[in-house]
């Protein structure tokens, strides 16, 4: 949902901005741009396409500016073109703004500004911000920004520079993420922490309603009323290596192969420290899980485990649906919000609305210091490290580990359960050692245009997640479905051109799944089976088969999802697609 960077110091700003933008490219990549204060004048460069297009256009330009801002765009208002790309400038060319999020009253502002004779150039909601700041400027950029904020409605983050105060950047957070990086004689700004890691590990994640005044020799943070705030600097434990590709062709592949380690880190974290929650899940009348996308699929699995071990009623809702529903939620309810980024607007805003109604808010997040982390009553972290590939992989299995640890935390057999969970990282490693088998299967099916993914009970969310992975990165239509529901409709789709991926571990619904596979075969459908190694019965039914080590029922999703992640990856790579940055998507969705 757009990435913002900023730098002010004594080094060439452009180098910092481009490096930061490359790390933020996963947030949006339809156009990119920078604005620098070069010899007292604003220098703006923007290009449609990825950051490399911008880099090419800057090639050979000897820009020495030591302050600037940059942007990578995921279009919301206005088509993808250079005019709509950021930074946006005022008519005089004295101010430049980069923005992430949405200004909801942009139409009204535009009409008003045009009535005063301002010549609008773009179709964006952003342009209003820069014109308002220029109009409000009376010699102090901070004051101009604070006065402008009174006119803006929506959820946003933006940064502004001006030729009139060349070393100063003012930036604002209100609903979209923004982090300040602290250096020596230089300071930084970015939409997320990994973009700052090449330069500093000392950061201040801004909260909604905060404005930062960034100068080379200091960082000053204010509320929207202009009152100065005291903030703590956080030292980030991640290092730059964990945000690099490490010899893999894509981040996604690296992240898939990291799962034995990330699962181990997450599980051991909870074994050594316990969950430290000052309540029992049994104290709540109801547990409501809210999440989006992959995190929602993790939530569906969490429901099964919590119901089994806590015996409490659990509902799972899409965050975007729950926010505007009349669901009766209040005191006595626990809202369990799941989000890798901790910045997803749907998840944050729905959770906050439910918290306001009196519910307790517990969240599972990967990014420490993210908005959801700070806004929750309690947080459980997944220790998966930065995930750069837009398609979530290692954070999904880390979420499963946290949810499982949470579900069994009050069970009598807690220690036995956690011991079983501890075996998972090694078993995942075994599955990964068969990646070449999965590659072969993927290549045989890479030219199909439709897939059905079937599973029952714990394998149903796995089917949904497998289908989502394929859709996201290969642009192939894939439907995840509960296998028992197939006969109520989707069975009509089955023919020799629509392969079925069936997830069939030996669990309580194994026999039922075999019958569902027979139903597919009877309609000339091809079946790719994922089951336990050595399951000759299943293997005999499936045209293609991949085995995972035998594991107890509860833990099957940790293993069966791995071949499906690989399947999607190998197909997308074979098709020559941009695996890490699939079209139309963004890693962190900070708009509703
Ligand atoms: C996952 O592959 C997707 N890119 C997407 O569905 C994602 O899971 C969703 O946007 C939620 O993100 P979050 O976990 O950061 O809240």
Q: What is the CATH number of the domain that holds 572?
A: 3.40.50.10490
Residue 480: which of 492, 501, 463 has the closest Cα? 463
Q: Is residue 592 part of a domain?
A: no
CA distance 265 to 263: 5
Output the tens digit of pLDDT for each of the chain's 592 residues: 689 999 999 999 999 999 999 888 877 788 999 999 999 999 999 999 888 889 888 887 888 899 999 999 887 888 888 888 999 999 999 999 999 988 899 999 999 999 999 988 898 989 999 999 999 999 999 999 999 999 999 989 999 999 999 999 999 999 888 999 999 999 999 998 888 988 999 999 999 999 999 999 999 999 999 999 999 999 887 665 566 777 899 999 999 999 999 999 899 888 766 677 899 999 999 999 999 999 999 999 999 999 999 999 999 999 999 988 888 899 999 999 999 999 999 999 999 999 999 999 999 999 888 889 989 999 999 989 889 899 999 999 999 999 999 999 989 999 899 999 999 999 999 999 999 999 999 999 999 999 999 999 999 999 999 999 999 999 999 999 999 999 999 889 999 999 999 999 999 999 999 999 999 999 999 999 999 999 999 999 999 999 999 999 999 999 999 999 999 999 999 999 999 988 888 788 877 7
Adjacency order of strands within the sheet including 88-89:
88-89, 95-103, 154-162, 169-174, 210-215, 218-223, 228-229
Do 232 and 263 fall into the same domain? no
Tokens read off for 429: 């490693």
Token pair of 422 as six digits:
């501890």
Task: Tell me what pLDDT residue 241 has.
Answer: 54
Query: 581 CB under 6 A from ligand 1?
Result: no
The three-state DSSP-derived secondary structure of 264-299 is HHHHHHHHHHCCCCCCCHHHCCEEEEEECHHHHHHH
- The verdict on residue 418 lying in a domain is yes
Q: Does residue 341 line the site of ligand 1, with CB under 6 A?
A: yes
CA distances from 491 to 465, 485, 486, 519, 532 (A): 20, 9, 5, 8, 25
Half-sphere exposure of 70 (CA within 13 A, CB side): 34
In this structure, the strands spanning 378-381 and 360-365 are parallel
Quote the domain boundaries for residue 345: 245-422
Ligand 1 closest atom vs CA 292: 11
Report the Cα–Cα distance between both ends of the chain, in Å, rounded: 11
Q: Do 172 and 312 share a structural domain?
A: no
> How many angstroms separate the alpha carbon of residue 401 from the centre of ligand 1?
17
486's tokens: 């197939």
At 329 the three-state DSSP class reads: coil
- The H or E element that residue 590 is part of is none
126 with 275, same domain: the answer is no
Contacts of 272 (CB under 8 A, 6+ apart): none
Compute, in angstroms, the gap from residue 19 CA to the centroid of ligand 1: 24
Please indicate, yes or no, whether residues 232 and 251 belong to a single structural domain of this protein: no
Q: Is 363 in the pocket of ligand 1 (CB under 6 A)?
A: no
Please answer whether residues 4 and 189 qualify as being in contact, where contact means their C-beta atoms are separated by less than 8 angstroms.
yes
251 within some domain = yes
Per the DSSP assignment, residues forming a β-bridge with 171 are: 159, 212
pTM of the model: 0.75
Query: What is the CA(217)–ligand 1 centre distance, in A?
Result: 37
Here the tokens at position 372 are 């959801």
Other CB atoms within 10 Å distance of the CB of residue 508:
10
User: Annotated catalytic, 587?
Assistant: yes
129 DSSP assignment: H
In a domain, 589, yes or no: no
Instruction: Please list the helix, strand and coil fractions of the chain in percent, rounded to the nearest 5, in that order.
Output: 40, 25, 35
Q: Which residues pair with 31 in a beta bridge?
A: 48, 73
Q: Which of 388, 422, 456 is the last residue of a domain?
A: 422
Nearest C-alpha neighbor of 385 from the set 264, 563, 290: 264
- Ligand 1 mean position to 428 CA, how many Å? 22
Ligand 1 atom nearest the C-alpha of 291 is 16
The answer to whether position 586 is within a domain reads no
Tell me how many domains the chain contains: 3
Q: Does 392 sit in the ligand 1 pocket, CB within 6 Å?
A: yes
Identify whether residues 130 and 250 lie together within a single domain.
Answer: no
591 inside domain: no
CA–centroid distance, 197 to ligand 1, in Å, is 22
Does residue 582 lie in a domain region? no
Task: Mark which of 193, 215, 240 sits at the end of a domain.
Answer: 240
How many Å is the maximal CA-CA distance in the chain? 78
Angle of helix 141-149 relative to helix 127-136, nearest 10 degrees, comes to 120
**Domain end call among 203, 218, 240:** 240
Q: What are phi and psi of 479, to 5 degrees?
A: -115, 125
Residue 305 tokens read as 């485990």
CB of 339 shorter than 6 A to ligand 1? yes
In a shared domain, residues 182 and 305: no
Q: Which of 50, 394, 471, 587 does the annotation list as catalytic?
A: 587
Q: Verify whether ligand 1 is closer than 6 Å to residue 347 (CB atom).
A: yes
Q: For residue 73, how far is the Cα from the chain centroid?
A: 16
Q: Are both 249 and 236 inside the same structural domain?
A: no
Q: Which of 2, 292, 303, 394 is catalytic?
A: 2
Residue 252 Cβ < 6 Å to ligand 1: no
d(CA 174, CA 223) in angstroms, rounded, equals 11
């Amino acid at each position: 949902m757009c990435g913002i960077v900023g730098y002010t110091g004594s080094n060439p700003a452009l180098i910092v901005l481009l490096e930061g933008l490359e790390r933020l490219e996963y947030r949006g990549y339809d156009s990119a741009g920078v604005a620098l204060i070069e010899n007292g004048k604003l220098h703006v460069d923007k290009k449609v396409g990825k950051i490399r297009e911008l880099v090419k256009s800057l090639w050979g330009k000897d820009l020495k500016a030591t302050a600037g801002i940059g942007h990578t765009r995921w279009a919301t208002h206005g088509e993808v073109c250079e005019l709509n790309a950021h930074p946006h400038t005022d008519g005089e060319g004295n101010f430049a703004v980069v923005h992430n999020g949405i200004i909801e009253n942009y139409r009204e502002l535009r009409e008003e500004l045009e009535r005063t004779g301002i010549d609008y150039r773009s179709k964006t909601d952003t342009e209003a911000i820069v014109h308002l700041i220029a109009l409000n400027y009376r010699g102090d950029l901070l004051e101009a920004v604070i006065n402008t904020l009174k006119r803006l409605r929506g959820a946003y983050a933006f940064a502004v520079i001006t030729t009139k105060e060349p070393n100063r950047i003012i930036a604002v957070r209100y609903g979209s993420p923004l982090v300040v990086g602290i250096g020596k004689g230089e300071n930084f700004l970015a939409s997320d922490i990994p973009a700052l890691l090449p330069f500093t590990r000392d950061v201040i994640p801004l909260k909604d309603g905060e404005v930062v005044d960034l100068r080379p020799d200091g960082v000053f943070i204010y509320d929207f009323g202009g009152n100065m705030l005291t903030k703590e600097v956080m030292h980030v434990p991640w290092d730059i290596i964990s945000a690099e590709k490490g010899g893999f062709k894509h981040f996604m592949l690296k992240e898939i192969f990291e799962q034995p380690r990330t699962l181990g880190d997450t599980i051991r974290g909870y074994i050594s420290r316990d969950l430290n929650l000052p309540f029992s899940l049994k104290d709540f009348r109801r547990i409501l899980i809210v999440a989006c996308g992959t995190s929602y699929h993790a939530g569906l699995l969490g429901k099964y485990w919590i119901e089994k071990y806590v015996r409490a009623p659990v509902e799972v809702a899409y965050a975007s649906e729950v926010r505007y529903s009349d669901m009766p939620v209040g005191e006595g309810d626990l809202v369990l919000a799941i989000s890798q980024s901790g910045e997803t607007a749907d998840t944050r805003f729905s959770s906050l609305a439910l918290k306001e109604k009196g519910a307790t808010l517990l969240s599972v997040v990967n990014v420490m210091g993210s908005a959801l982390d700070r806004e929750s009553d309690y947080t459980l972290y997944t220790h998966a490290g930065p995930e750069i590939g837009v398609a979530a992989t290692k954070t999904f299995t880390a979420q499963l580990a946290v949810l499982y640890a949470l579900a069994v935390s009050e069970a009598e057999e807690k220690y036995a359960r956690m011991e079983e969970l501890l075996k998972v990282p090694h078993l995942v490693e075994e599955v990964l050692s068969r990646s070449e088998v999965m590659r072969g299967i993927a290549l045989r099916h890479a030219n199909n245009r439709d897939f059905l993914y079937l599973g029952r009970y714990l394998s149903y969310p796995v089917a949904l997640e497998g289908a989502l992975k394929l859709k996201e990165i290969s642009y192939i239509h894939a439907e995840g479905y509960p296998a028992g529901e197939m006969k109520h409709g989707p069975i009509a789709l089955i023919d020799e051109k629509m392969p079925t991926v069936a997830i069939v571990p030996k669990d309580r619904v194994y026999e039922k799944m075999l019958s569902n596979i027979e139903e597919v075969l009877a309609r000339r459908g091809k079946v790719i089976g994922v089951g336990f190694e050595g399951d000759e019965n299943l293997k005999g039914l499936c045209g293609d088969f991949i085995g995972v080590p035998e594991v107890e029922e509860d833990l099957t999703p940790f293993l069966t999802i791995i071949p499906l992640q690989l399947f999607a990856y190998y197909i997308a790579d074979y098709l020559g697609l941009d695996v890490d940055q699939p079209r139309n998507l963004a890693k962190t969705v900070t708009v509703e």
